[in-house]
Structure 1
Amino acid sequence: MTCHHIADTDGLLRSLYALLAPSGYLCIADLDTDGGSFHGQEFADHNGFDRRELAAKAEAAGFEQPGLTTAFSMTKGEGEGAANRE
């Protein structure tokens, strides 16, 4: 839940790729595209990520066959009991 706060996603992915061992994995948990509903319209960075676009950026950074899946989902404001594990 940090990547959407970083303006240069391409640079971030390149930097993270450079830090990994050759057989390493990177796991990121962040927002899907939400149109600004999570932080509100005044938020200046990313309002989540389109998964296909993020996968293309990861490949451009050097990652091989990025896999994207939903590991957890929640709706902001519903409280702790509203979280769904998938």
Structure 2
Amino acid sequence: MGCNWEWSLNQGRIKRLNAEVLARKNGQPFDAQKIPLHSHDGTMQSKFAHGWHSVTETDIRRKLSPDNTYIDVRRRLAEKFGERDE
């Protein structure tokens, strides 16, 4: 995959995540089927769309609540149950 193709794919993911988070925080509906125009080049737009559709519900929830990584959850559980590092 060319560098520009990979960039377009990543831009699709980034734009979708930002749009989803903004819509949810403002209580607005979001239609994932409405892909914004990224490029007039068909291949670049296709890669953008692929990145746009690769975003999962888990990705969105992680973006909305960034303190839910494995390490953060493990730390909170250790605090709650008094686990010590040995």
Tell me which interval the TM-score lies in, with the shorter structure as reference length.
0.3 to 0.5
Q: Which has the higher contact order (CA 8 A, sep 6+)?
A: 2
Report the structure, 1 or 2, having the larger strand content: 1
More helix by share: 2
Computing the radius of gyration from Cα coordinates, the structure with the larger value is 2
